[in-house]
Chain A
Amino acid sequence: MHQTRRSVIKAGGAAALFAVFGGVLLQPGRALAAWNKGAFEAKNIADAMKSVGVANAEESKAIEIRAPEIAENGAVVPIDITSNIPGTTSISVFIEKNPFPYTGTFDFSQGAVPYVHLRVKIGESSPVRVVATAGGKHYTTAKEVKVTIGGCGG
């Protein structure tokens, strides 16, 4: 389905406009490339990391993930991420066992500290994998979060 940006914005929030996985929209003023549809639609962790371009990340203990051992409710799992790797420009988050593991990328290169807190849906007990990018290289670590009741449906 091909929609020009103008017609999409003119139609406002009408949910019927877009195909199943949403349109790719360029945000005005954004330095980054368009929302990475391919990566967000990847159905396994390997494909997702490859699409984001971080497949060869090396394990690092310099990334801290703070998350509950057991999530009270998989619908809202708080995750705190700090990268202590010097020169970190971005952090990407993957929830390995989710239907679409790639959850997001946070960019600090324009004036933010390499830290982010987010709350995510985890469908079943899963490693939460984080990749920090610094100086063009990728570093990764993961933390297992157990979920008793999945967060996607009920």
Chain B
Amino acid sequence: MADPMKIRATLQGDVADVRVLMAHPMETGQRKDAAGKLVPLHFIQTITAQLNGKTVFTADVSQAVSRNPVFAFKVKGAKVGDKLSITWQDNTGDKRTDELVIRAGS
């Protein structure tokens, strides 16, 4: 089971400034381990953000994104009490969803 993400959302009017930190090795498939063997490709491919169950932001990314990725994006039409959920899925089929309720002054 993948480790949780850390999500922060700050409201600026009705735009939620979202910052997310994901725990993922983002292996390029080019790296060799201590024994000299190539570590297989293992990376997040897709990211989806939903506000109150409706998709508002999506991304497709490659293994060139850094290990333990950080992304920031801005969601429109957000208000206090809204539920923000973010899902990532990687090339092995593993996925992770974490949620946050937007708070005033957060």
Contacts and interface: CB of A to CB of B under 8 A. Distances in A.
Determine direct contact between A and B, CB below 8 Å: yes
The size bracket of the interface on B is 35 or more
Contacts of A136: none
A149 to B, nearest CB: 14
A120 B57 contact: no
Interface string A118-142: 1111000000000000000000000
A78 B42 CA distance: 21
Given A27-B89, A31-B55, A118-B71, A111 B60 contact: no
Contacts of A40: 62
Contacts of A18: 40-41, 91-92
Contacts of B74: 112-113, 115
Contact of B29 (A20, A27, A32): A20
Interface residues of A, number: 53
A29 B93 contact: no
Main secondary structure of the interface of A (DSSP, over half): loop
B67 interface: yes
B80 interface: no
A36 B60 contact: yes
B70 to A, nearest CB: 5
A108 B51 CA distance: 13
Contacts of A21: 29, 41
Contacts of A9: 93
A11 B31 CA distance: 24
B24 to A, nearest CB: 11
A35 B30 contact: no
B93 to A, nearest CB: 4
Contact of A13 (B61, B63, B73, B92): B92
19 contacts: A16-B40, A17-B93, A18-B41, A20-B29, A25-B89, A25-B91, A27-B46, A27-B87, A30-B48, A98-B64, A103-B65, A106-B57, A107-B58, A107-B59, A113-B75, A115-B73, A118-B70, A120-B65, A121-B65
Interface of A: 5, 8-9, 11-18, 20-23, 25, 27, 29-32, 35-36, 40, 75-78, 95, 98-100, 102-108, 110-113, 115-121, 151-153
